[in-house]
């Protein structure tokens, strides 16, 4: 499962890098291109850190950073989509869909990790 999530994050970041390159062709979207590049790649890189967490608390903290970066990416994709300045709506739609799925995975993972941490503390 870990490799699957890692691969999805890497594939997602790679797709965002390609999108970012296209977005930079429009001066109005250049800043968003830079921001979305950073947040999408950061989510993949921070997941690598979360995999090597030294404790459950550390995992929750690092996974929360992944979630934060995915949320930032989501908002950037929404802005790009609604701006009407980028016309490949299918590409944006697919990226939003994958981003939503990754958000759901990390939200559930963090909730589960917090519940497990609470259970451990009660023992």
The model's pLDDT over 42-71, given as tens digits with 9 standing for 90+, comes to: 999 999 999 999 999 999 999 999 999 999
The pLDDT tens digits of the residues spanning 69-105 come to 999 999 999 999 999 999 999 999 999 999 999 999 9
Burial-class residue 77 by CB neighbours within 10 Å (0-12, 13-18, 19+): buried
Q: What angle do CA 79, 104, 66 make, to 5 degrees?
A: 75
What is the rounded CA–CA span in Å between residue 31 and residue 27?
A: 8
What is the rounded CA–CA span in Å between residue 59 and residue 50?
A: 5
What is the rounded CA–CA span in Å between residue 74 and residue 95?
A: 9
Q: Please list, in sequence order, all residues whose beta carbon lies within 8 angstroms of the beta carbon of residue 71, skipping any fewer than 6 positions away.
A: 103
Domains and CATH numbers, the chain: 2-122 (1.20.1440.60)
What is the rounded CA–CA span in Å between residue 121 and residue 104?
A: 26
Question: Does position 3 have pLDDT exceeding 80, yes or no?
Answer: no
């Amino acid at each position: 499962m870990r490799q699957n999530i890692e691969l999805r994050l890497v594939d997602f970041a790679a797709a965002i890098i390609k999108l970012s390159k296209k977005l930079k062709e429009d001066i109005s979207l250049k800043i968003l291109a830079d921001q979305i590049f950073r947040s999408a790649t950061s989510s993949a890189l921070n997941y690598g850190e979360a995999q090597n967490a030294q404790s459950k608390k550390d995992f929750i903290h690092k996974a929360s950073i992944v979630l934060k970066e995915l949320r930032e990416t989501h908002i950037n994709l929404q802005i790009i989509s609604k701006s009407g300045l980028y016309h490949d709506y299918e590409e944006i739609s697919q990226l939003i869909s994958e981003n939503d799925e990754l958000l759901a995975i990390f939200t559930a993972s963090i909730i589960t990790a917090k519940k497990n941490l609470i259970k451990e503390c009660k023992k």
